[in-house]
Amino acid sequence: MAHRITDPIIVPASLWQRPETMDALRSRDMRGLFHLLRKYAGASQTRIGIACGLAQPKISAIMNGTHQVEKLEVFERIADGLDMPREARLAMGLAPSALDLTSRTVMPPRDDHSLQSPGSTPGTLMVDSSSPSEVEDSVLRRTFTRLAGASLVGTVLADNAAAGPLHGAEAFAAALVTPESVPAAAQPTEVRALAKAVANAKRAYQSCRYAEVMSQMPTLLPTLRATCSDLDGDAKLRAYALAADTYHVAASVLLKLDDHGLAWLAADRSMRAAALSQDPLTVGSSARIITHALMADGHYGAASTTAGDYAQRLAADMRDPTPDSLSVYGSLLLRGAIAAAQAEDRDGSLALLHEAGQAGSRLGSDYNHRWTAFGPANVLLHRVNIAVCLGDAGAAISYARKVNLDQLTVTERKASLFVDTARAFSQWGKHGKALHALRAAEELAPQEVRSRPAVRHLASDLLATAPPTVRPHLSEFAAHIGALA
């Protein structure tokens, strides 16, 4: 029976499982996919166009190789029009459909007690129990681009929101520099409400919404100070732990913006509050931001030593490791490994990496305990970064291609991976691929690329050394993110 052009395309389930189909999806080869649809589903160019919302001449151009699909929205339109199953969408580097996201419940593992979060005890604060699977829908629906094949991502940029560097550090500078002895110009609040606000700030940071974090600080910091002064007993300890977390995220954003002075102040406040919380895990977590601040000022040896010392101290304090303690311990080791690499201490860096890898293996998978996003995949991300620091671009790319982005649900980690990959390609002299990696990072996390001076400098450096064939594209991208201003 002949098909009418208005008939829907009935795609055999077996088509999505064919090796040649999966190859076409992984490489985002829509020409190959459309030819397979014609061969195995009897779909004409017109019917494919109707299903995917594309004109027949456009389908013809794609199938004869004179046009290549690059826009993310078109890939999404094709996936939706063909009703691709979840496995096919993921193979093409797309997030599951909205139906998949709303119908699928992700539960934490129950068969291994070592992976369950321990109950709260006096002096220990669990400010938020959200797992990485609970990242907001807007992030889950973004592209899950993969580091495979000749290019990293083929999408073009359309969203100009949050363009340019952030201009908001001054908005909470006054809150940071106010002496702790001065009464806070705010009213104390309940610890439960405070914990929720701090969790929101942490979540915004991990989603690379830095402007949102900065806008919250002028209110949140004075409220924390007032609450810490007002409470006593265990409630006071929990409030100090929340303050340590908040100053930690404030310092993290400031370091992204290269505002080292304010970042140091925030990191110091984080460490002071952590000590007052009397919680070893909070102290260990705050030591991470102290290490980061040391690295930002070029004190790599001191940073590596600090991270190692606090990791050993935490291991001694936590004789029976929990998921939280393993995560903070492993994250400290990773921070120390990066510092050692920047100090050109290859052996020391690899030794710390190895120890962190063992902690990740004990944890079993990547979680977001204590806001660390730690696990085996995160260790692999740090291998990429450290290889770049050591000037081993080939190893960095090799590690990057082993990363399964589906295991990374913290946007900041994925965006940092793409930036590190761009740095590696830059070292390798592959300007086009470096541009693809930066585009992937910008699409995933605009503020990570447009607000960070280090990333804009990378784009400028690439443009200065780019060959004529790539220079126009790099120039357009550099202008787009404000690197030419």
Rounded to an integer, the average pLDDT of 269-281 is 96
For residue 4, the model assigns a pLDDT of 53
Return the exposure string of 403-435: e unless at least 16 CB atoms fall within 10 Å of the residue's CB, then b. Answer: bebeebbbbbbbbbbbbbbbbbbbbeebbbbbb
More confident residue, 360 or 11: 360
For residue 52, the model assigns a pLDDT of 82
Closest CA relative to residue 209, chosen from 148, 151, 168: 168
Domain ranges of the chain: 13-94, 171-276, 279-408, 410-485
Output the CA–CA distances (angstroms, integers) from residue 440 to 133, 174, 209, 452, in the order listed.
21, 36, 17, 15
**Tell me, which fold does domain 279-408 have in CATH?**
1.25.40
93: left (phi over 0), alpha (psi -120 to 50) or beta: left
CATH, range 13-94? 1.10.260
How does DSSP classify residue 150? S
Average pLDDT over the chain reads 82
For residue 181, the model assigns a pLDDT of 63
Closest CA relative to residue 197, chosen from 245, 240, 254: 245
Q: Over pLDDT 90: what percentage of the chain?
A: 58
CB 323 within 8 A of CB 112: no
pLDDT confidence tier of residue 80, bands split at 50, 70 and 90:
confident
CATH, range 410-485? 1.25.40
Closest CA relative to residue 351, chosen from 321, 406, 311: 311
More confident residue, 277 or 104: 277
More confident residue, 393 or 134: 393
For residue 116, the model assigns a pLDDT of 33
More confident residue, 156 or 286: 286
| List of residues 6+ apart from 246 with CB closer than 8 A | 198, 201, 217, 220, 221, 224, 270
pLDDT 10s digits, 406-434: 888 899 999 999 999 999 999 999 999 99
Count of residues making up the chain? 485
For residue 140, the model assigns a pLDDT of 32
pLDDT confidence tier of residue 9, bands split at 50, 70 and 90:
confident
More confident residue, 391 or 71: 391
pLDDT 10s digits, 426-483: 999 999 999 999 999 999 999 999 989 999 999 999 999 999 999 999 999 999 998 8
Is the pLDDT assigned to residue 154 strictly greater than 70?
no
More confident residue, 40 or 272: 272
Q: Which residue blocks in 106-259 are alpha helix, DSSP H?
A: 137-140, 169-177, 191-206, 210-230, 233-256
Rounded to an integer, the average pLDDT of 189-200 is 93
How does DSSP classify residue 390? T
Rounded to an integer, the average pLDDT of 386-398 is 95
Fold match between 13-94 and 410-485?
no
For residue 42, the model assigns a pLDDT of 86
Is the pLDDT assigned to residue 163 strictly greater than 50?
no
By the 10 Å C-beta count (0-12 exposed, 13-18 middle, 19+ buried), 215 is classed as middle
CA 214 – CA 169 distance, rounded (Å)? 7
Which of 88-97, 124-133, 175-184, 389-398 is predicted least confidently?
124-133
CA quadruple 242, 245, 251, 253: dihedral positive or negative?
negative
Which of 22-26, 290-294, 345-349, 382-386 is predicted least confidently?
22-26
Is the pLDDT assigned to residue 171 strictly greater than 80?
no
Is the pLDDT assigned to residue 396 strictly greater than 90?
yes
pLDDT confidence tier of residue 7, bands split at 50, 70 and 90:
low
CB 303 within 8 A of CB 335: yes
Output the CA–CA distances (angstroms, integers) from residue 457 to 413, 419, 451, 461, 484, in the order listed.
20, 12, 11, 6, 9
Structure tokens at 5: 């052009």
